[in-house]
């Protein structure tokens, strides 16, 4: 049974690098959105900032007694790839929740990107998650216009694999524009808030709320076996799913009224001609039903 938010202690956490422009606004929005919880703490893991991020974090620490941050200095000297550093930062949060008595009473963790994507989160949106019928262990955010976080998304029909790997493979067949349209943009569909919950194998969208027992059951990994960058959420959520926890996108949990990136342009006529030319090959590669589904979504973009 889901512990009610008014009786729950929540930790807002996230990585930080060169986000001086956004972090204060996001932290304030998230604190306000969680103001009806029994208690709220904040933990930010910083590294490699060359702007005023550390100065802003110091100001937040002075302004909020529940705000803490840990700076790891220059991780890039030993971790050159961004996803490796992100995994390290998020694993630091897991370790703090597991081992630091400061967080012994935490019931939920809100893992958040702090780069502007959570500027429009509200208490109403957060609190509605506690009135849902679906028995969630992890609940993740949605965006207006189009759901953007396809790299982290895993769903057996919608996005079963790494979209960037698929894009790279398709580029050899149809070129960059058509490959990107098919592997990424066609999957960035609009999820109406009225659609409720979509169970997934992985998702994030800039904000995920985790039951503590689920959160501490996984580890983030930002590189594959060959050292290539992968979404660090994939390994983490795989661990959680293997442990029996359930992950959802809540279509009503819209965390930004304005997408952090501009909406992708519609496919050009040239791109559509390229797609039509390779349709026969695509049917062989993907199977008729899945390939036609992607094409239909693309034409409606």
- Cα 72 to Cα 183: distance, rounded to the nearest angstrom: 36
CB 20 within 8 A of CB 56: yes
Domains of the chain in sequence order: 5-150+192-262 (3.90.550.10), 161-187+265-301 (no CATH)
Helices (H), 129-268: 163-174, 176-183, 212-215, 232-242
Beta-bridged to residue 12, according to DSSP, are: 42, 110
Which pLDDT value is given to residue 266?
Answer: 45
CA-based nearest residue to 6, from 107, 77, 101: 107
- Cα 243 to Cα 240: distance, rounded to the nearest angstrom: 5
Q: How many CB atoms lie within 10 A of CB 288?
A: 10
Sequence length of the chain is: 301
Each residue's pLDDT tens digit in the chain (301 positions)?
799 999 999 999 999 999 999 999 999 999 999 999 999 999 999 999 999 999 999 999 999 999 999 999 999 999 999 999 999 999 999 999 999 999 999 999 999 999 999 999 999 999 999 999 999 999 999 998 899 999 999 999 999 999 999 999 999 999 999 999 999 999 999 999 999 999 999 999 999 999 999 999 999 999 999 999 999 999 999 999 999 999 999 999 999 865 554 444 444 454 445 545 555 555 555 555 555 555 555 444 4
- DSSP letter at 58 equals H
Which pLDDT value is given to residue 157?
Answer: 96
Helices (H), the chain: 23-33, 53-63, 82-99, 123-128, 163-174, 176-183, 212-215, 232-242, 269-277, 279-286, 288-300
- Report the DSSP pairing between strands 247-254 and 197-200: antiparallel
Which pLDDT value is given to residue 145?
Answer: 86
């Amino acid at each position: 049974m889901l512990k009610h938010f008014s009786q729950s202690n929540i930790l807002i956490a996230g990585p930080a690098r060169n986000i001086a422009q956004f972090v204060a606004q996001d932290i304030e929005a998230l604190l306000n959105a969680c103001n009806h919880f029994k208690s709220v703490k904040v933990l930010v893991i910083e590294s490699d900032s060359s702007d005023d991020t550390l100065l802003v974090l110091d100001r937040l620490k002075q302004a909020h007694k529940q705000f803490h941050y840990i700076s790891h200095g220059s991780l890039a000297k030993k971790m050159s790839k961004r996803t490796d550093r992100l995994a390290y930062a998020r694993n630091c949060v897991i370790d703090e929740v597991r081992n630091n008595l400061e967080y012994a009473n935490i019931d939920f963790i809100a893992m958040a990107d702090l780069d502007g994507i959570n500027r429009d989160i509200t208490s109403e949106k957060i609190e509605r998650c506690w009135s849902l019928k679906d028995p969630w262990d992890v609940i993740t955010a949605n965006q207006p216009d189009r759901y953007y976080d396809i790299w982290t998304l895993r769903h057996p029909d919608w996005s079963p694999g790494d979209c960037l790997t698929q894009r790279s493979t398709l580029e050899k067949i149809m070129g960059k524009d058509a490959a990107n349209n098919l592997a990424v943009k066609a999957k960035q569909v609009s999820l109406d808030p009225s659609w409720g919950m979509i169970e997934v194998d992985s998702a994030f969208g800039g904000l995920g709320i985790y039951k503590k027992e689920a959160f501490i059951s996984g580890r983030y990994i930002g590189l594959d076996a060959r050292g290539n960058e992968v979404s660090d959420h994939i390994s983490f959520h795989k661990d959680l799913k293997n442990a029996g926890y359930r992950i959802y996108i809540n279509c009503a949990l819209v965390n930004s009224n304005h997408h952090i990136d501009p909406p992708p342009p519609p496919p050009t006529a040239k791109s559509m001609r390229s797609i039509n030319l390779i349709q026969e090959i695509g049917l062989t590669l993907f199977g008729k039903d899945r390939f036609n589904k992607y094409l239909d979504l693309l034409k409606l973009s």
